[in-house]
Each structure stands twice: as C-alpha cells, then as structure tokens.
Structure 1
Amino acid sequence: MKIALLGYGKMGQTIEKIAIERGHDIVIKTNDEDGYDITSADVAIDFSVPNAAFFNIVKCFKQGVPVISGTTGWLDNYSTAEAICQEENGAFIYASNFSLGVNIFFELNKQLAKMMSKLESYKVSMEEVHHTEKLDTPSGTAISLAEGIIAEHIHYTDWNLVSRRENTIPITAKRIDNVPGTHVISYASKTDTITIEHEAHSREGFALGAVIAAEWLQDKTGVFTMKDVLNIG
C-alpha cells in the first residue's frame, strides 16, 4: 500500500516506522497544505494541524484517495467534510484517537456511564494529561469521552474545563513533558470512588491504529469510525 503522510511531525514519523514494518511504502511526507500529488498514494493519513486538516481531507476526496485523519481542533468543519465525502463517493475515517486500547476504553466509558446514570449520588469528573507540545485543550480524546458520557448518562448535558457546574462534566487538562496521553474518569460519592483509566506508554499505539484503519479502508466508500474498523459497539 502506498501511503501519503500529511503532517510529518513526531506522530507522522512514528506512523512511517510502523507502516514500513507492516510492508507499506511512504510516497509522500509533507507538512505543507499544497504542492504534492496525492494521486500517487493509495491512502492518505492526516496528522497535520487544525488549520490544514480540512484542506488536506477535501483534497483527498476530490482526487479519489481514501483518507484517515487524527488531527483534532478542526471539527467545526466535520459535517461539511462528511457531506463532501458522500458527494465525491470518497472514503473517510476520523478519530480523535486511533489507539486500539483507547477505542475499547471509549466503549467501556459509555457502558459505565449508562450504569452510573441510575446513581445520582455519584458525580463524574475527568482528568487528561498530555505532553507540552499538544496544541488543543482539552484533548480530542477527552471531548470524545465526555460526549460518550453525555450520550448515555441522563444527568449530564455538557462539559467544561476545571469547574463543576450542574449537569456539566468538569475536565482538568494538564500538560507535562514526555507524557503521550493519560485519561482518567472518576465517579465519586461520599462513600467511595469508581475510576477507569487509560494510559498510553508511547505514540506507537496511536500510529498502529492509524495504519490498521488505513488498511481496513482500502476498497471502501463512505464515512466510518474506529468502531467499524474494530467491529465493536
């Protein structure tokens, strides 16, 4: 499989390593929004920056190249990207986190939220910790986790950073050197606390998931998620 890496920072470099180990070729490595011929690739993997991601994704749709995107911070344009994908008969997977473990964690989070919605004495909170180079706060993964809780828990309708408000999930975001990503969800009452946690040990888990998603997307059309790739949920 010939892969275009749209965004060649630390994540792009880790994806390159994993892809080559799995027998694929990297035909494009770029941090630019233009100046590359995307048609030389069988699939594109976008880990760029928020103001470039939408351009990269639409370019892939227009040129008939399936695209995987793990860039966060551009989702105000997600519905537009989805519509263009359908119009162009393209193929697209967006995930706030491609780690296989995190996507299992997403489903565990939703199941726990569903159970805890019957127990009003427990109040939920979330903490996420990432490296100091991360551009968005809170993380896209934290937002996805919050949305999963909101979808299943009848008492929560929104999230916000740090402070607790009624019907709102408080998220604490920390930035510490050399932390790939940790997410902790807690349900606390006066008598006890229930906590679930996912801790990434390196970027390789994110990179592996992105490459597996790219392999899965070959010869498909439509908009998919990691739930489709992993056949879960």
Structure 2
Amino acid sequence: MKILLIGYGKMGKTIEQMALDKGHEIAGIIDQHNTYELANFSEANADVAIEFTHPESAFGNISYCLQHGIPIVSGSTGWLAKYEEAVALCKQQNGAFFYASNYSVGVNLFFHFNEYIASKMKDYPAYEVAIREVHHLQKVDKPSGTGITTAEGILASYPSLQGWSSDEEVENRINIVSEREPDVVGTHIVEYKSAIDKIELGHIAHSRTGFAGGALMAAEWLKDRKGNYGMKDMLNL
C-alpha cells in the first residue's frame, strides 16, 4: 500500500516506521516546509493519506485529498467546527474519510466503557462528573480531542447538562481540566464524585505506538471503501 504522510512530527515519524516494518511504501511526506508538494498527489500515486497536522491546516488537507480521490485518515484535533463540511464533501466526491480524535484501540474501548458507565451514573445525581486530561508540553489544543470525545460520550446520557467547559467550573457543564507536563503521552480520567466516595475510569498511554498502530490499521481498513467512518465502525463497537 502506498501511503502519503501529511504531517511529519512525532506521530508521522512513528507511523512511517511502523508502515515500513509492515512492508508498505511511503509515497510522500508533506510537512510544514513543503506543503506545496501536496499538489503533486492524487489517487494515481497514493492509495491512502494519513494526516496528523495542526488545526489551521487539517481541513484544507482533508479537502484536497477528497477532491483528488485519495482516501484520507485524519487524526488532527482542534478543527472540528468544519467536520460536517468534510463529511458533506466526502459524500459529494464519493470519497473515503476516516476521522478519530484518538486511534488507540485501548482509548476507543475507554470511550465505549465511558458511554456505558455514563448511561448508568445518570440515575445517581449525587455524583458530579468531571474530566481531567494530561499531555506533553507541545500539544497546542486544549482540551484534547480525546477529552472532548469523552465529554460528548457522557453528555449523550445527561440531557440536563449543556455541554462542557474548559479549565473552569460552569454550572450545568462538564469541566474538562487540561494539564501539560513534560514527557506525557496522554492521560484521560473521568471522575464521578459524591460527598462519600469517588469512582474513576481512566486510560494512560505509555507510548505513541498505540496511536500510530491504530491509524495505520485504519488506513489499511479504509483503502478499498467509500464513505465516512470512525473507530466504532472499524472495531465494531
């Protein structure tokens, strides 16, 4: 499989090595220094693109790939105000688009269990729910995309809550506390706290290989498909 890497930070480099180890070919690498080279690619010379960039460039990268027949797997966060536009473009172009805020299989099981626990905890109003996420110092968006997805999974069972807040307690919202520390891959904790006890559900990543491996798995899965997908589709959750 010929893979176009869009974004060549820590995640892109990890994906590159894992792809080569599995016998895939890297068709090209697009980073902040050669973004113009993206115009040289189409379905003729890339089977799939894997995109991990910044919020300001993600939608443009996704749009280009969909318009030029390249199935695209995106893991960029902070751009989701345009997500529905990307989905519409995918349908218009009869393309293939796979998005996840987190590609770790373990994290997506965490999402699944989070939704289940929320569906039960909603019946116990004595417990207040909050989320804490911790990442490395280079992560630019707050809260993390994984933190937001976690909040959305809870909100589906709590119609009385009116969304989430970032780093401040707001009435009728889930507070997502974001912390940035050196050498932290990614930690997400959901906390249900009452006056007498506390229940926690958490996921702690030890390395980026789980995220990179999931993104590569998604690219392999998406290659011969059409439509808009996510981790629930691939993992049958």
Output one character per residue of 1:32-56: Cα deviation in whole Å (capped at 9) or x when no partner.
Answer: 4332322211000000111111111
Is the 8 Å Cα contact of residues 128 and 183 (structure 1) preserved in structure 2? yes
Which of 143, 149, 154 in structure 2 is aligned with 1:138? 143
Distance 2:55 2:159 in 1: 32
Which of 206, 209, 214 in structure 1 is aligned with 2:214? 209
Distance 1:146 1:18 in 2: 31
Output one character per residue of 1:164-214: Cα deviation in whole Å (capped at 9) or x when no partner.
Answer: 222211111100011000000000011110001000001111000000000
Is the 8 Å Cα contact of residues 124 and 185 (structure 1) preserved in structure 2? yes
Classify the secondary structure of the residue corresponding to 1:97: coil
Q: What is the deviation of 1:108?
A: 0.6
Counterpart for residue 41 of structure 2: 38
Q: What is the deviation of 1:87?
A: 0.5
TM-score, normalised to structure 2's length? 0.95
Establish whether residue 28 from structure 1 lines up as the match of residue 28 from structure 2. Answer: yes
Number of equivalences: 232
Which of 63, 80, 87 in structure 2 is aligned with 1:75? 80
The two structures, once aligned, show a CA RMSD in angstroms of 1.0
Structure 1 residue runs without a partner (length 5+): none
Output one character per residue of 1:118-165: Cα deviation in whole Å (capped at 9) or x when no partner.
Answer: 000000011100000001001010001001100122332211123222
Query: Which of 156-165 and 168-177 deviates more?
Result: 156-165
Counterpart for residue 10 of structure 1: 10
Is the 8 Å Cα contact of residues 129 and 174 (structure 1) preserved in structure 2? yes
Classify the secondary structure of the residue corresponding to 1:26: strand
Establish whether residue 150 from structure 1 lines up as the match of residue 139 from structure 2. Answer: no
TM-score, normalised to structure 1's length? 0.97
Classify the secondary structure of the residue corresponding to 1:152: coil
Distance 2:36 2:92 in 1: 22
Classify the secondary structure of the residue corresponding to 2:49: strand
Is the 8 Å Cα contact of residues 30 and 37 (structure 2) preserved in structure 1? no
